[in-house]
Structure 1
Amino acid sequence: MVLLSAVLLAQALSAAVSEPPSKWQVGRFTGVCESISQAVSSASSVYWPGSGEAYDADIFHYATSSSSQAACSVEPGKAEDIAMILGILAENKTPFAVKSGGHAMNPHFSSTSGVHISLSRFNEVTYNAEAKTAEIGAGLIWDDVYAALEPHAVNVVAPRMSRLLLLLKFTILKGGFNNFGIVTKFLLDTHPQPEVWGGSLTIAAEFFAEVNAATAQFSQTAVDPKAQIIASYGYAQGKLISSIMLFYDDPEPPKGTFDAYLVIPYLAKDVKTRSFLDLVRSAPSNGTQGLRGIYHTVSVIEYTDRVLNAIINETSFWGERLASGPAVMAYSSEPFLQTIFSHAAPNSSAYPPNRAIAPSPLSISYAWNDSSADEAMHSAARESAGQLTRVLSSEGQNVKDTALYGNYAIFGTPLERIYGSNLPRLRMLKAKYDPNGIMGLTGGWKF
């Protein structure tokens, strides 16, 4: 369930916004900020570069390469102020960004040199025990949501990573990103949440064959919807290493569920019965915050031994060439059950366009420190995805018919590769709900 309590773009806004602002308009951004400051209610605030912690927090992103110095940051306190802000931005054709917390890895997808809108004041969680729902502000990070719901022994279907931020994905059609308006609250169904079993294993490269065998077995035979693994291969500080995340949505997994992993010799182990919040906060992926970063992806139907070896080869190849200093290369396999997309009707969401196919998104994740390496890292991520796609094709996996996951896909990915046959419908909805192209002044995937 999604509550669109936010801003429906009024068709009465007359500004026609079809082109990005030209360079001569940049000087107008400060004046636009002043207009917003004078127009919004006392529930909202405007902050300026150099003004202190509030501005810095507003433009902060998990990856430093995703942050931009904005002309001002705006923290709207109510939806009515957002509508007023959008009207001013449309009238002046001013670029803007919408950030709930800043986990977008693609540069400029939620940052701007224009007006930066931070949803940090929409930060409450309200649990309704009778309706079994939770109303969640879009400015929260998921840790805060899990912590608020934990005393009620309930949870919502949400991400696995600590510090991951609420993303503005669910608008007119689930998966539409920020094409139709700004969401300030979500109304989500809750489910009973017992303690869970899981955590991480860290395994040296000499045992990668055993990791591959366990992952291929899980990919090909797993049928328990409570069980999930993420097998990551990483390169850092001159070494290849594997990190395995194990998860079972109960205090103990049935015997044999993860035995193939648990018998592999490990360098470190943190697997136990714990709260869901504790499990999420233990995830090793939290270590790259504050570096530059990029994601890319390929869609995998089945993780075979050959596919997994190709992933290891890519990790090693690019790690040896690019992972100097604090740089980290990681390839994370997330084998889904083949029934994963069968729980909703066809055409119930923008992604995936074909629910008869159950692709698992392989995450290609690079983190580095030196801005001069940006282009090389972006090019490597694209080239690596291309090589893995060729391997998948040679394995008979019909990658042309498998959509790419938009949260992982690198900027510049053709929209057809994410939305497939749903793209015409999305463009029709875009024309209907945002006829003046106001949301085209933001970054991100644009219909």
Structure 2
Amino acid sequence: RSWRLPVPVMGTLYRLASQLLSDLTDKNYFYLFDLPSFYTAKALNLAIPGGPKFEPLYRDDNVDEEDWNEFNDINKIIIRQQIRTEYRVAFPYLYNSRPRKVRMGVYHFPTCVYIKAEDPDLPCYYFDPLINPIASYKYQSSKTDAGDDDDDFVLPEGVEPFLAEAPLYTDNTANGIALYWAPHPFNKRSGRTRRTLDVALVKDWYQEHCPPGHAVKVRVSYQKLLKCYVLNKLHQRHPKSLNKRYLFKILKATKFFQGTEIDWVEAGLQVCRQGYNMLNLLIHRKNLNYLHLDYNFNLKPVKTLTTKERKKSRFGNAFHLCREILRLTKIIVDSNVQFRLGNVDAFQLADGLQYTFAHVGQLTGMYRYKYKLMRQIRMCKDLKHLIYYRFNTGPVGKGPGVGFWAPGWRVWLFFLRGVVPLLERWL
């Protein structure tokens, strides 16, 4: 349930993860691009450049249709230019007529003077060339002859500075300094373990400004992901305390379930097989012998149907949504089976999984039966833009090989988590 790791292990993990982590240590980079600023911009119906844009929070703020009053009387105040968005967000009580639901952000953090060492073999305390030494310039000695009466002070023999016997640095010092400036969770000694699907690997990427020079679609994707993040943060509630129910214990108490420890690919094959049987039973329960369900979960008529047969063979959305979900499961399981058989290597598998999760709209027809699912499809597309433009830079260029499937996988797992109870109710 919890972890505690020594400094060398944490240092190695941090170094391995550094490709995915941000290089920014200066918090001032996020001035007017942090949560309080986004909340304020949302409340005032403004859009920070590069930030998300929301529907107006209050509909009664018609600045153009305001009557003259003592605060905006033409004889009292002259505004020569439009007030910039940044001013209105940074100082909401000063530059807005009716600031409601605004948050005050931090104006300035202390200047960060940490420089990340690129080479792990460098000594711990190393004078980086980035730091420009200030040359002495027209320096004059301010010493004045104070007379020869005072004797020069000499330290007695045997005096040593404090901590003279302690080493200047040990093997852990460089790791320790790097971890001190590392982002969460690398800057912790211990913590609570989290499930894989709860770890957002790419969240820090879109919380930074979109790099200049990217296509418009990428900038839009950054803004949409940011918007989703801000809304989730805004509507976050404290979890209610519930009695813990253990599903496995409840199922074990009945006589219909049994426990096993088979390989998870075998379990996936079982799910596909059982799903196929279940859908076939539902088809044959209606005596529809002229409909054929193949192993890829395509439902097709075996002959040209009469009008009566077509009316009889209509299924509800729940059936078809279940069929399409099983189809997606089959694609994922088949990819893993190909990997286990040795037909593809791990990089091809990862690339295939990433492609599958990013193109669920093309590979299945799920959105036909629950259109709200377009949100997940669009979110995966935004994540795809974010990831592709992050990896396919420089000499790498466009093309396959971005086997970064975890963000898209999370989107579909959370979708399944929400839709399974609905399917249980509908079927």
What TM bracket, shorter-length normalisation? Answer: under 0.3
Normalization by structure 1: what TM-score?
0.25
Query: If you compute each CA radius of gyration, which structure gives the higher value, 1 or 2?
Result: 2
The structure with the greater share of residues assigned to helix is 2
Superposition TM-score, scaled by structure 2 size: 0.26
